[in-house]
């Protein structure tokens, strides 16, 4: 598993980056990889991969996100969804390491923080968007973490709201996910079969 942070260049995620060999053709990262970049998010209804979101007419809009695109070869959609959930656990761990006072909840492929609403009630604010899919040659995951919470279509919080240093967070996620994948590979190769 290789990782690369495209630092200092804003890239608008519009869904077209979620394709096989994007990391290789656009950023010279070949093979199983996790690519990170910052930039806005503008995914219209017609470009959504998630059919449920598409049926509901949802759009994904954010002024700025930390985007991660994972590509894994020789896998299927079921394992891609499992890797997506592991990736979100790594994201959660990275934020909580940088800000131990935060409590982040994961529900499926989304991360939330509970905040006090105006009338004293609790409200869950969304931190992430994420989808897993497959191409003819690989499995693909996109996860976007809000940096800004301005002008989002649903109640959100961003890394800026939480005073999380974005570049440190991105590096921590890249390293954490690469280490997790290496650990899975090592665990797979150290046990003997049982009758």
CATH of the domain at 56: 3.30.930.10
Strand partners, 5: 36
33-42, 95-104, 117-126, 139-148, range with the lowest pLDDT: 117-126
Specify if 173 maps to a domain: no
What pLDDT shows up at residue 120? 64
| Token pair in block for residue 126 | 């969304």
Length of the chain: 195
Strand partners, 105: 112
Specify if 60 maps to a domain: yes
| Section 167-181 average pLDDT | 98
DSSP per-residue string spanning 123-149? EEEE-EEEEEEE-SSEEEEEEEEES--
Specify if 97 maps to a domain: yes
- Neighbour-count burial of 93, counting CB atoms closer than 10 A to its CB (0-12 exposed, 13-18 middle, 19+ buried): middle
What pLDDT shows up at residue 53? 67
Contact criterion met (CB below 8 Å) for 47 and 57: no
Q: How confident is the model at residue 47 (pLDDT cuts 50, 70, 90)?
A: low
Q: What is the pLDDT of residues 110-169, one digit of tens each?
A: 999 987 766 666 778 999 999 999 999 999 999 999 999 998 888 899 999 999 999 999
Range of the domain at 98: 2-157
68-72, 85-89, 189-193, range with the lowest pLDDT: 189-193
Specify if 92 maps to a domain: yes
State the total domains in the chain: 1
| Token pair in block for residue 102 | 């935060």
Q: Which of 27, 57, 24, 36 is nearest to 177 (CA)?
A: 36
Specify if 41 maps to a domain: yes
Specify if 99 maps to a domain: yes
């Amino acid at each position: 598993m290789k990782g690369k942070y495209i630092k200092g260049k804003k890239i608008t995620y519009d869904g077209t980056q979620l394709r096989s060999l994007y990391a290789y053709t656009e950023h010279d990262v070949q093979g199983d990889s996790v690519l990170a970049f910052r930039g806005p998010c503008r995914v219209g209804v017609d470009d959504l991969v998630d059919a449920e979101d598409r049926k509901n007419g949802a759009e994904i809009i954010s002024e700025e996100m930390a985007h991660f695109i994972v590509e894994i070869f020789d896998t299927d959609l079921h394992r891609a969804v499992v890797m997506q959930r592991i990736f979100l656990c790594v994201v959660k761990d990275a934020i909580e390491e940088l800000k131990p006072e935060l409590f982040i909840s994961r529900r499926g492929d989304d991360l939330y923080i509970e905040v006090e609403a105006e009338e004293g009630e609790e409200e869950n604010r969304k931190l992430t968007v994420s989808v897993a899919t497959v191409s003819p040659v690989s499995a693909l995951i996109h996860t976007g973490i809000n940096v800004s919470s301005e002008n989002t279509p649903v109640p959100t919080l961003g890394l800026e709201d939480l005073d999380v240093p974005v570049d440190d967070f991105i590096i921590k996620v890249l390293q954490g996910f690469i280490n997790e994948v290496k650990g899975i590979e090592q665990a797979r190769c150290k046990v003997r079969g049982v009758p």
